[in-house]
A and B are shown apart, each in its own frame.
Chain A
Amino acid sequence: MPVPRPVPAARRASERVAAMLPMLAPAVVRPPIALGVDALDALLGGGLARAALHEIYAQSEADAAAATGFAAGIAHRAAGGRSMLWVRHNPLDALGGRLHAPGLASIGIDPARILLVRAPDIAAMLRAGAEGARCAALGAVLIEPWGESRLIDLTASRRLQLAARASGVPVLMLRSAAEPAPSAATTRWRIAAAPSRAQPGNAPGLPAFAATLLRQRGGGGTSDWILEWNHDRSRFEHIPAPLSGGVVPVPAVRTHTAQRRAA
């Protein structure tokens, strides 16, 4: 006597409902990702929403590295020692440069905790990103396309936003050579490089960013920030006055560095 089996269509539907359940349930309260700058964190309501999609645009192609550093810093703070998934669109390697692990290590981000996916096209990139966003074991997901694509639309961003809300894994969409388009993202940033605080001998200093908060869901207008990534404390710090092109030299605050260098 054969056991009656569920009709495939019915099973699919039940699976779909099961998959939707976590989205329908009230989201678990998850602490926001504090960036380390009190005024900015206060503006964001304690920090960047954890279970959400955030967009980071490089102001120009030449600022793509700064945007990468900013996104990596946020992902590092969000992950708190857990692994992160970094999905890169393949043409990036040739056009914008590869992700360089020693460079990540030198700003305190452990490359051993990064799972790198090299997606051959935008569709594969979005699918891999969504797959990661559903995996609650990850600390953060970074998705990095190159250029514009009609596949990165409102629907795609909504899918990522929903996945992030269900799993609690922050998703960062890092975009270069692209203009902001309508999306479901919770915040949107525009990042440019900013002059660093010079090291002794007029050497370039720690990574510095001119970050513009373009949009915040349910929040106010734009605001500009000059931030610095401090890898010793694994946090962003505010550079108070915008430096006018290094005409006014900033005294070296890290005296122990100066001593070590002089020694």
Chain B
Amino acid sequence: MEKIAGAVRLVALNRRAVALGLAPGLGLADARARFPDLEAVPADTHADAALLDRLAIIAERFTPGVALDPPHGLLLDVSGCAHLFGGEAGLRRAFVRAVRRCGLSVQATIAGTPDAARALARFGRVGVVSPGMDAAMVRALPVAALGVDDATVRALARAGLKRIEDLADRPSVALAARFGEGLTRRLRRTLGEEDARIVALRPLPACATQRQFAEPLTHADAIEMVLHDLVADAARLLEARGEGGRRFEASFFRSDGAVRRIAVETGQPSRDAAAILRLFRERLDALADPLDPGFGFDCVRLGVPITDPLGPAQPDLDGQRAEAFALGELIDRLVARLGRDRVLGFAPRDTHDPMRETRHVRAGSAGGLGRMPPWPAPEPGAPPARPIRLFARPQPVDTLAEVPDGPPRRFRWRQRLHETLRAEGPERIAPEWWRAGIDEPTRDYYRVEDRAGRRFWLFREGLYGAEAVPRWYLHGLFA
């Protein structure tokens, strides 16, 4: 039930309520007057939408081209998919069975165009329309089957136009003049005079292969074998097109409707079945929540949503290219196991702020490590000016003997006392005032070596005189 135009009305009914003669649009008070023990709950449109989304995922095992038709419909583009299920009737049967298993009642129609199928499913109670019969079947339906708004339907009824055939026989110019272009377009599409493809929920992969099973798969070895076959199929398809995949997405459809998607990516376009399979194995191995077959997978699909041109296989790569290629494959394997954010390269940034001097870039995004920007060469003969290890958060140290404008003679870091033997500095690094939100004191950095030979990068925050008590921090460690 839902509040419509000031009254609480029924919006959706179950089978038994329909059998009792109730209909959507009836006021709740009227319905209660006829059946006092009627069970009514407020309509939850969000839950309905979520359910439709889940149904769309279930529907994806029948075709990758699935679109939502809210509030309670799905449109499936089954072109070229029917043979997998033994023809259109078989596909429809399998689909209806899958939805019924979720405890829902369903009307499904396969027709030549999406609009005709929708009209016939809602008003026609037809299973599969044989090719070319769309228009004939649709003509007998009421005008409401066009899916236009109620006001238009009422206006058409007042004009005596009750069925689609009444409209189809009239000149469309007159209809368009009275009811708008939308109505005539709907009419043409529903009659199959104009073809409109659906826009799939998820973009259709450039290349996809799948396997259906009469008997759901549960064994890990069998699942891996299927994946092996699918990858080999995809590799052949890609080779024929002169392409390589950058992303491979395996969808595992469980017999109870759940779907698990596992994707791997490669830095370079690839159609090397063995390497791709290895990435999948890494990925499956590293999953925090392993692939759970439950009562088994009844369908596995492999899609390649991202592809790039890739020439024919070249067995004789020269040494350097072979090395770069092997490195790229290593990066792919590490990424498949650990994730993109854990496999990194170093890129320099033009700044004096030691915290921002290095940028971690994801390895492989620029095609391996080969194209990283260059770093400055070390100064000949000069000791390192920057530490080999840097603390993200400078560590406070206690200084015991301070000299104005010099490094401390002794300092304590992590409960250990260090006595300064050599020092160099200060190197003054001012905060980058031009960056918004930066309000830090100037830092004076010193390279300090203690009696044991440990080399530290210390800094004093603020200036003598300006600050009441300057604070000392340890920022890094030299080799």
A residues lining the B interface (CB < 8 Å): 5, 8-9, 61-66, 68-70, 72, 82-83, 85, 93-94, 96-108, 110-120, 124, 127-128, 131-132, 135-138, 192-196, 198-199, 201-210, 229, 231-232, 245-246, 254, 256-257
Contact = CB atoms under 8 A, between A and B. Distances in A.
B392 interface: yes
A65 B478 contact: yes
B343 A196 contact: no
Given A112-B369, A137-B326, A117 B334 contact: yes
Interface hub of B348, B373, B414 (most chain A Cβ within 10 A): B348
A64 to B, nearest CB: 7
5 contacts: A65-B389, A66-B454, A106-B378, A106-B384, A193-B454
A101 B357 contact: yes
Contacts of B479: 65-66, 68-70, 72, 103, 107, 207, 209, 229
A192 B453 CA distance: 8
B389 A195 contact: no
B274 to A, nearest CB: 10
Contact of B390 (A72, A100, A116, A124): A100
Contacts of B325: 137
B327 A138 contact: yes
B392 A94 contact: yes
Interface residues of B, number: 70
B477 interface: yes
Contact of B386 (A66, A106, A207): A106
A192 B455 CA distance: 11
Nearest to A61: B414
B448 A83 contact: no
Contacts of A83: 327, 369
A199 B424 contact: yes
Interface hub of A85, A112, A120 (most chain B Cβ within 10 A): A112
Contacts of A117: 334, 338, 342-344
Nearest to A205: B383
B333 A103 contact: no
A192 B381 contact: no
A98 B331 contact: no
Nearest to A70: B479
B454 A196 contact: no
Determine chain B's interface SS by DSSP, over half rule.
mixed
Contacts of A9: 221
Given A115-B345, A117-B334, A131-B330, A106 B449 contact: no
Interface hub of A114, A194, A204 (most chain B Cβ within 10 A): A204
B179 interface: no
Interface of B: 221-222, 224-225, 322-327, 329-331, 333-334, 337-338, 342-348, 354, 357-358, 360, 363, 369, 372-393, 414, 416, 421-424, 447-449, 451-455, 476-479
A203 B389 contact: no
B418 to A, nearest CB: 8
A103 B327 contact: no
Contacts of A135: 326-327, 329-330
Task: List the 7 closest A-B pairs by CB distance, nearest first.
Answer: A69-B479, A97-B389, A65-B477, A203-B424, A137-B326, A8-B221, A100-B390
A146 to B, nearest CB: 12
A93 B392 contact: yes
Given A68-B388, A207-B478, A120 B342 contact: yes
Contacts of B448: 204
A216 B455 CA distance: 29
A232 B453 contact: no
Contact of B330 (A108, A124, A138, A202): A138
B337 A193 contact: no
A77 B360 CA distance: 24
Contact of B384 (A101, A107, A137, A194): A107
A118 B389 contact: no
A116 B360 contact: yes
A105 B375 contact: yes
A198 B455 CA distance: 12
Contacts of A118: 342, 344
A208 to B, nearest CB: 6
A229 B382 CA distance: 12
A202 B422 contact: yes
B337 A127 contact: yes
A103 B345 contact: no
A207 B386 CA distance: 12
B422 A246 contact: yes
B384 A103 contact: yes
Given A101-B357, A114-B345, A119 B338 contact: yes
Contacts of B423: 202-204
B394 to A, nearest CB: 11
A97 B447 CA distance: 17
Contact of B389 (A85, A98, A106): A98
A232 B330 contact: no
B447 A102 contact: no
Contacts of B449: 195-196, 204
A130 B249 CA distance: 27
A203 to B, nearest CB: 4
A207 B384 contact: yes
Contacts of A63: 454
A119 B341 CA distance: 10
A251 B369 CA distance: 42
A104 B393 CA distance: 19
Contacts of A103: 384, 386-390, 476, 478-479
